[in-house]
Amino acid sequence: MNVVVIIPTFNEKGNIENLIDILEEEVFPKIKNHEMRILIADDNSPDGTAREIEKLMSKWKNLDLTTGEKKGLGAAYVRAMTYAVEKGADVMFEMDADLQHDPAKIPEFLKKMDEGYDMVIGTRYSAGGSIPKEWPFKRKMFSVLGNLLVRTILLKFSIHDWTGGYRAVKKEVFIKEKPELTDFKGYTFQVSFLNKAVRDGFRIAEVPFHFGERHVGSSKIAPMAYIIDLLKYVITASLQEKLFGPFGKFLVVGGTGFIIQAVILRAMVGVWKIDPTISNLTGAVAAIFSNFNLNNIWTFKTEKIHGLMQYLWKLFNFYATSAVGVILIQTGIIFLGDNLFGKKYYFWYFIFGTGILLIYNFTVYRLIIWRKQPHK
Ligand SMILES: Nc1nc2c(ncn2[C@@H]2O[C@H](COP(=O)(O)OP(=O)(O)O)[C@@H](O)[C@H]2O)c(=O)[nH]1
Ligand SMILES: [Mg+2]
């Protein structure tokens, strides 16, 4: 594969030559099965980083430079990745210039790529990874809690390091997500890019690494502005996903099911004078059938069921799930509540039971009936 290590720089003159030397002399010679290049994404650094690179370009033929106006880290990455893809890159690395990202880990990322992953995330927060021991307690807390907060708000716990900037990504992921990568131009780019890749089912692996101390110079991050930008992103993204994503659609479908059942019940009992129990059951069977089909063509349309046998089998599963949910979970919670705290609060048990029922149903649908397929 054609691999490009992209290094964004803003006033990194003191670090960049050192890093390039390590990559060219120690890391790249060990990689035999891929073609390795370096692309520096500089934003007209006043310290003359770009001039330094131009000098080094006569020494290293696989070294390239893109320069532009300073619009933030994310904007620099989007520009550089666009350029790299145009020049034929298959895989792109994100790496800081300040030597905080151990270049010796590159082969481990590439191994994951060879195994078929689409994106590989360097992680500081799982076994084998770490943040600098020298950091003061406050900074450590900040770093750990920040990540935990992102994971919790997004409700995505399988990835341990959302905010880091040591990654490898296949060009397909970038091409797919690029149109949506324009809103957050700063450091929040990292979280939003990864979140979109997760959403779209790209296969993601993690490589633990020890995050070092900055070599020379100072951090470019503005902590307060970053935190506000980050929170803005994770909260809106999470709400959007929950309300307008499959879960929101699932709730809408459930609402239509309720109406269908109510109309059938009223019609059968009121107009045709049929026994209410039988009428209710008939309404339920019809509502469940409608729910199943609406979920199939709308809520989970990306995992739509094909073929008659598959359809009948999943429909059977859906009826079974619905029966188990209503009988065991919803009714069970009401039964428990009645016996533990008294019948007085029965309606609250019903509300609580219905809440749990919804979560149970959605989980079964997502994990069993319309299981998310990895990105093709
Ligand atoms: N091109 C470009 N690079 C940036 C910008 N902001 C930060 N960087 C680079 O991004 C990398 C990470 O920044 P750094 O200040 O080390 O962040 P920290 O490690 O979170 O403190 C470094 O290589 C910076 O030079 C920017 O606006 N434009
Ligand atoms: Mg840094």
135-155 pLDDT, tens digit each: 999 989 989 999 999 999 998
C-alpha of residue 80 to centroid of ligand 1, in Å: 14
- Atom 5 (ligand 1) nearest CA: 73
- pLDDT bucket at 230, cuts 50 / 70 / 90: very high
* 45, part of any domain: yes
Residue that is last in its domain, among 241, 269, 292? 241
Q: What is the mean pLDDT of residues 71-88?
A: 97
- The contacts of residue 42 (CB under 8 Å, 6+ apart) are 8, 9, 10, 49, 50, 53, 65, 66, 67
Residues 236 and 259 both lie in one domain = no
Asked whether the CA dihedral 160, 163, 166, 171 is positive or negative, the reply is positive
Q: Distance between CA atoms of 208 and 217, rounded to whole angstroms? A: 25
Residues 304 and 288 both lie in one domain = yes
Full domain range(s) for residue 332? 246-369
Tens of pLDDT, residues 37-57: 999 999 999 999 999 999 999
Residues 266 and 151 both lie in one domain = no
Residues 184 and 266 both lie in one domain = no
User: From the CB of residue 265, how many other CB atoms can be counted at a distance below 10 Å?
Assistant: 19
* 376, part of any domain: no
C-alpha of residue 35 to centroid of ligand 1, in Å: 26
Pocket of ligand 1 (CB under 6 A): 8-10, 12, 41-43, 70, 72-73, 76, 96-98, 100, 165, 214, 219-221
Residues 166 and 266 both lie in one domain = no
- Per-residue model confidence (pLDDT) at position 183: 83
- Per-residue model confidence (pLDDT) at position 184: 83
Q: Distance between CA atoms of 349 and 163, rounded to whole angstroms? A: 40
Quick one: which ligand is closest to 74's CA? 1
Give me 50's structure tokens.
């770009």
Lowest mean pLDDT among 119-123, 220-224, 326-330, 345-349: 220-224
Q: 197 pLDDT exceeds 70? A: yes
Residue that is last in its domain, among 215, 241, 267? 241
* 375, part of any domain: no
Tens of pLDDT, residues 14-39: 999 999 999 999 999 999 999 999 99
Domain count for the chain, please give it.
2
Percent of the chain predicted with pLDDT > 90: 90
- Per-residue model confidence (pLDDT) at position 107: 98
C-alpha of residue 336 to centroid of ligand 1, in Å: 56
Percent of the chain predicted with pLDDT > 70: 99
* 229, part of any domain: yes
- pLDDT bucket at 373, cuts 50 / 70 / 90: confident
In 305-339, which positions are buried (b, 16+ CB within 10 angstroms) versus exposed (e)?
A: beeeeeeeebbeebeebbeebbeebbebbbeebee
- Per-residue model confidence (pLDDT) at position 376: 58
Q: What is the mean pLDDT of residues 75-92?
A: 98
Q: 375 pLDDT exceeds 80? A: no
